[in-house]
Amino acid sequence: MKYLTRAEELILLAVVRLKEEAYCVPIYDLVQEMSEKEWTLGSIYNPLYRLEKNGFVKSYLGAPSAERGGKSKRYYKVTKTGIKALQEIRKLHEQSWDDISEALI
Amino acid sequence: MKNKNKISKLARYLIALSLPGYSDDSVIGDYEELYMRKLSADGKLKAAAWLWLQIIKTLVPFIKHSIEWGGIMIYNYIKNGFRNILKNKIYSFINITGFAVGIASCFLIYVYIEAELSVDAYHEKADNIYRVTSWLNIGGNEFNGSATNALIAPALRQDFPEVETAIRFRRVGGASVRYGDKEFNEYGITYADETVFDIFTWPAIKGDLKTALTKPNSIVITEDFAQKYFGDDDPMGQTLVFNKSKNMIVTAVIENIPFNSILGYSAICSFKTIETPENLSSLLFTDWTSHNFHSYVLVKDNTDLKALEEKMDKLLYKNAGESLEESGSSKKYHLHPLRDMYLNPPASASPPITYVYIFSAVTIVVLLMACMNFINLSTARSIKRAREVAVRKVLGAFKYRLIVQFMTESILTSVIAFLFSIGLIYLFMPGISEISGWNFFDLLSEPVVYFSGLFFFTLLIGIVSGFYPSLVLSSFQPAKILRANSGRSSSKSSLRSVLLVVQFTISIALIFSTSIIIRQIDYLKNKDAGFKKEQLLISRLPSQTVRRSLDALRNELATVPGVASVSFSSTIPSWGLASNSKLPEGYEETQTLLMDEMNVDHYYIETMGMELVAGRNFSDEFPTDRHASVIINETAARKFGWKEPLGKIIRQRNPENMDEFLSRKVIGVLKDVHQRSMTGEIQPLFMISDPDFPFSFNDLRVVEMRLSGGDIQETIENIKVKWKSLFSGKELNYSFMDEVFNRQFRRYELSKQLLSYFTTLAIIIACLGLVGMASFLAENRTKEIGIRKVMGASVFSILKIFIKDFLKWILLAGLIALPVE
């Protein structure tokens, strides 16, 4: 099974954290906060698209909102497969970093 | 609620472009939300900056990505294309070669035709330039003349409002030109009136063309001429010495006259130079019925040519009506367009333009055949691969991919054919340059334009031939194909049969026509011309060699080992002769007849290998021969109705005094010689041996030397040495009579060779088509063959069946071709 990339991992975690309000803009803000780096919208979208294609995330269109000039928002939700992938990557991280002391790095 | 600060359309387009995946506008909505946030937080500028930064940062990797993957895809298609082409080496080779050869040939012919049609088209006012010619009727003989008198051009210029200007040309003839230590014989110089540059577009490099030829003894030279005599020095104002006596001052330098022009002069002298008082009062300039100049006229737009011609006729008759009537002749002016002078000359029986038409037709036909073949074979082959296609589809290939695959293959094939054809074109260029007389390397000096045209055409054919099978194939139902016997579709095969039959019909028709034409041409070439043209060296005497020393010259040249005899004459067969009216005995003064004239020495007949059928040659024993004798040919005797021609008198008007008649007595009759060309009727000949004859056109300036076999090269070397010693170091410029004479066939040679070539090509293409079809069909009927064999048929009987089918087609083609002949 393919591992999540770091970007995918981050974004997926953001989706988890945001629960009901997980659409692009908050994800974008949260990820930038979490990583303390600047991201482009594209680098949020493309992983999200891949994640959805691989079945880690599910998206649905919300209701059209007036403030958006009639456009709707696309909300994302983590799937069971997505959770499994996150757990896997967590385990992998813990196991790989287990014995490495600060001194070695 | 309108939001005035929405993102621009361009931004939205780019966002949608760079983020494929979601096709709804939630994405745009997200961007807008963030944009609005930035807007209220940091203002318009910062918001816009953020937006565009986002866009660029997403767009650039997207583009890179697409290119990378696109490239890989294309690379893969091409790799596959090549693999497929190589898989069927023979077929591919046939296809590509046939196509390339066909295209290369047709390209060359196209360039040739374009060159022929471009002659003298470069003049700005080309459409309004005409040569003054006339239809003559002298004693019942129709005759079309390209030359005029000296008077019509000035009259046109001064008195005719519909004429912008008109000029005369008169060739200087052979002249020695010297500047400093450089001296050469020049034959391409002409006199012309001062407004010549208003008619013809020959741009100046130095000097003012408006005034260059207004004074006598001025000369305008071309670049090459300047280079030859002056090198890098400035020629302006310098003096060139003509024939050791006349000084000409350079008043302007013009660009070289393009090679596609019938007026290929190397320099132009002012007409005023020959308008000396004595010339002006001589017949040369005053006789309305003479033909010693070439006149050109530039008319205003939309001039009524017929009306102009009639006005000119009226003027002619006003001035010369009496003398025309007296000699029983009539003359009508005709203005012949400059653009037509090359392809459709006024006096030509079969104008060269017919060849242009023929070649165009043949080219198109062969090109069509080549393309048909290409498409045919490609199609047939793709159908063979229907099975492969079916399998691919079953395995889940996209229809799109299949189409692209086939298209790539077909385009690849045509590109390879294109490259191949370029190689072929350069291979054939020297050959076709030689035959056609055009230097193709000059014609194609800017190959990019031509070759890109050719490339796109080839590409087009590639696309078309790939289009059909790929569309058809990719929509096949796989099951149908795999089940049935490999995709034989009835409608398509009948189309292909038709194409094949057409190809063969064309080939057979071409074979017939070509063999007929070749036979005719060879007949002409081998027909007896009336003299011996082999081993006869021809040259010209340099400038004004003193005539009296001709005998001495002859004796000197005859001492050269290898030279059997030497003679002089005013012209040789195929170089053209003067033609003037004469009054044979027994004819009324109004019934003059036109006779070809030439001036020879006593040794001409012998050196040329001609024969006298009656009477005697000119001889030193009879000093009156010079002024009082003439030799005529058989045609003349026949035309005059003379059973006993010897002793008869022929009279002509004295050129220096039109009221007087000069008489000559016939002393001999020459066996007919084709003095003008092998085609056309032999004209009556008036041959004299008079070194004092006044008109310079009939000077004895041509030298003939009969070589006596043995080592020709050595003899030529010896002659060269002797020539140098006789003419103070001048080089010998020579040709051989048979080459010279055969030049008249040049055009026929060209047609013959091209037609043979194209016939062969057509046959090859048709055969290739046949091979392709044959292999296709054979493979199609593999099952049938198998069954027949199992049932006990011999190989021979199977062959018979196939051959029968093909013969059917070929016979059909033959039947169609025959009535076409």
User: Three-state SS string across B370-422, please?
Assistant: HHHHHHHHHHHHHHHCHHHHHHHHHCCCCHHHHHHHHHHHHHHHHHHHHHHHH
Distance CA B129, CA B339 (A): 8
pLDDT-derived band at B219 (thresholds 50, 70, 90) equals very high
Poorest-confidence range of A52-66, B705-719, B780-794?
B780-794
**Is A74 in contact with B26 (Cβ distance < 8 A)?**
yes
The percentage of residues in chain B with a pLDDT greater than 90, rounded to a whole number, is: 8
pLDDT of B438 reads 78
Q: How far A80 CA lies from chain B's nearest CA (Å)?
A: 23
Nearest residue of B to residue A51, measured between CA atoms: B21
- The token pair that represents B616 in the structure block: 């005697």
Distance CA B772, CA B635 (A): 60
How many other CB atoms are there within 10 angstroms of residue B482's CB atom?
16
**Is B29 in contact with A40 (Cβ distance < 8 A)?**
no
Query: Which of A28, A42, A68 faces B57 most closely, judged by CB atoms?
Result: A42
Poorest-confidence range of A48-62, B302-316, B326-340?
B326-340
Distance CA B808, CA B701 (A): 66
Query: Which of A23, A40, A71 faces B57 most closely, judged by CB atoms?
Result: A40
Nearest residue of A to residue B20, measured between CA atoms: A46
- The token pair that represents B525 in the structure block: 């070439």
**Is B32 in contact with A49 (Cβ distance < 8 A)?**
no
The arithmetic mean of pLDDT across residues B701-717, rounded, is 84
Distance CA B537, CA B482 (A): 77
Write down the pTM of the prediction: 0.64
Instruction: Indicate the angle between helix axes B89-117 and B447-474, nearest 10 degrees.
Output: 140
Q: Which of B264, B292, B282, B268 is nearest to B194 (CA)?
A: B268
CA B818 vs CA B64, B261, B760, B815: distances in Å: 64, 41, 18, 6
CB B294 within 8 A of CB B131: yes
The arithmetic mean of pLDDT across residues B215-225, rounded, is 91
CB B292 within 8 A of CB B146: no
Residues of B in contact with A7 (CB under 8 A): none
pLDDT of B251 reads 92
Poorest-confidence range of B557-566, B688-697, B804-813?
B688-697
Mutate to test the interface with B, among A18, A45, A59, A72 (most CBs of B within 10 A): A45
Poorest-confidence range of B74-88, B495-509, B511-525, B666-680?
B495-509
Distance CA B248, CA B216 (A): 8
Distance CA B682, CA B699 (A): 23
Does the CB of B575 have a partner CB in chain A at under 8 Å? no
How many other CB atoms are there within 10 angstroms of residue B80's CB atom?
14
**Is A68 in contact with B32 (Cβ distance < 8 A)?**
yes
pLDDT of B386 reads 67
**pLDDT tens by residue, B657-672:** 667 788 899 999 999 9
pLDDT of B323 reads 73
Does the CB of B4 have a partner CB in chain A at under 8 Å? no
Distance CA B755, CA B401 (A): 45
Poorest-confidence range of A70-74, B137-141, B638-642, B753-757?
B137-141
Mutate to test the interface with A, among B2, B26, B62 (most CBs of A within 10 A): B26
Using beta carbons and an 8 Å cutoff, which residues of A are at the interface with B? 23-25, 28, 40-43, 45-46, 49, 61, 66, 68-69, 71-74
Distance CA B529, CA B536 (A): 14
**Is A73 in contact with B27 (Cβ distance < 8 A)?**
no
CA B495 vs. chain centroid, Å, equals 38
Residues of A in contact with B61 (CB under 8 A): 42
**Is A45 in contact with B21 (Cβ distance < 8 A)?**
yes
**Is A68 in contact with B21 (Cβ distance < 8 A)?**
no
Q: Which of A41, A93, A98, A20 is nearest to B11 (CA)?
A: A41
Is pLDDT of A83 > 80?
yes
Query: Which of B19, B26, B58 faces A61 most closely, judged by CB atoms?
Result: B26
The arithmetic mean of pLDDT across residues B401-424, rounded, is 84
Does the CB of B11 have a partner CB in chain A at under 8 Å? no
CB B112 within 8 A of CB B438: yes
Q: How far B392 CA lies from chain A's nearest CA (Å)?
A: 26
The arithmetic mean of pLDDT across residues B785-811, rounded, is 74
Is pLDDT of B546 > 90?
no
- The token pair that represents B62 in the structure block: 């997207």
Here the ipTM equals: 0.82
CA A10 vs CA A4, A28, A41, A43, A59: distances in Å: 9, 11, 14, 12, 17
What mean pLDDT, rounded, does chain A reach? Answer: 86
The percentage of residues in chain B with a pLDDT greater than 70, rounded to a whole number, is: 85
pLDDT-derived band at B695 (thresholds 50, 70, 90) equals low
Is pLDDT of B214 > 70?
yes
Is pLDDT of B397 > 70?
no
Is pLDDT of B700 > 80?
no
Distance CA B420, CA B423 (A): 5
pLDDT of A78 reads 92
**Is B54 in contact with A42 (Cβ distance < 8 A)?**
yes
Residues of A in contact with B22 (CB under 8 A): 45, 49, 74
Distance CA B740, CA B713 (A): 18
Does the CB of B9 have a partner CB in chain A at under 8 Å? no
Poorest-confidence range of B5-14, B182-191, B770-779?
B770-779
**Is A74 in contact with B19 (Cβ distance < 8 A)?**
no
Distance CA B673, CA B773 (A): 56
